[in-house]
Structure 1
Amino acid sequence: MILDHRTYTVKHGRMQDYLHRYETVALPIQLRHLGHLVGFFVSDIGPLNEVVHIWAYDDIADREVRRARMAADPEWQAFLLTNAGTFVAQENKIIKPTKFSPLR
């Protein structure tokens, strides 16, 4: 298993709008294509205005196939247009659980 750990910094004052659009529009599309959402979080202490979501995949090939399918979906492409200008930064990491991790 690999985990796709994504951190987005949302423009000040845009968080509630983003979370609403994400929950109502993007999340159903992503669940349909990407599958296993491990968690979705917002920062509370430390750097603010950040959202973090973590997705689980079997391996890199599984991730590539699923993300390519989502990228080709016209509904996803329409969501991306509504998302323009929402973020000031984004970071993406692929992480793997250790052999002793409870999440494997």
Structure 2
Amino acid sequence: MIYELRTYTAEPGRTAEFLKLYEAMALPLQTRYLGGLLGFYVTEIGPLNQIVHLWRFASLADREQRRAALEADPAWHHYRARSKELGVIREQESKILKPTSFSPA
């Protein structure tokens, strides 16, 4: 099992705009293709205006296959274009996490 931790930094004061668009357009697609959503968060303390989500995959190959299927869907390209037009996201970071032998998850 591997985990992908994605962090997006939004323009100050515009996180709600992004979340509204994401929930309406991206979440249904990602749920269909990626599955494994463990959590979706916004930062309250520390670096602000960050949107953080955590996904579970069986392996890097599983992640690659699922993301390729998502990328092949025209609705995903429509969402990405709409998100780019909105101009809310300033930065994106993605980390692949591999649990240790003693990790509970």
Over the aligned positions, Cα root-mean-square deviation in angstroms equals 0.8
Supply the AA of the counterpart residue of 2:89. Answer: F
Gaps of 5+ in 1: none
SS in 2 for 1:47: coil
Per-residue Cα deviation, 1:24-61 (whole angstroms, up to 9, x for no partner): 21100000000110111100001000010111000000
Q: Which moved more, 1:83-92 or 1:29-38?
A: 83-92
Supply the AA of the counterpart residue of 1:80. Answer: R
Alignment of structure 1 residues 60-75 onto 2, 5 Å: 60-75=60-75
Residue 4 of structure 1, CA deviation: 0.8
Distance in 1 (CA, whole Å) between partners of 2:74 and 2:103 is 37
In the alignment, what sits opposite 2:53? 53
Alignment of structure 1 residues 1-104 onto 2, 5 Å: 1-84=1-84, 85-103=87-105
TM-score between the two structures when normalised by the length of structure 2: 0.94
Aligned-residue identity in percent: 50
Q: Which moved more, 1:43-52 or 1:18-27?
A: 18-27
Gaps of 5+ in 2: none
Q: State the 4+ residue runs in structure 1 displaced beyond 6 angstroms.
A: none
TM-score between the two structures when normalised by the length of structure 1: 0.95
Q: Which moved more, 1:93-102 or 1:39-48?
A: 93-102
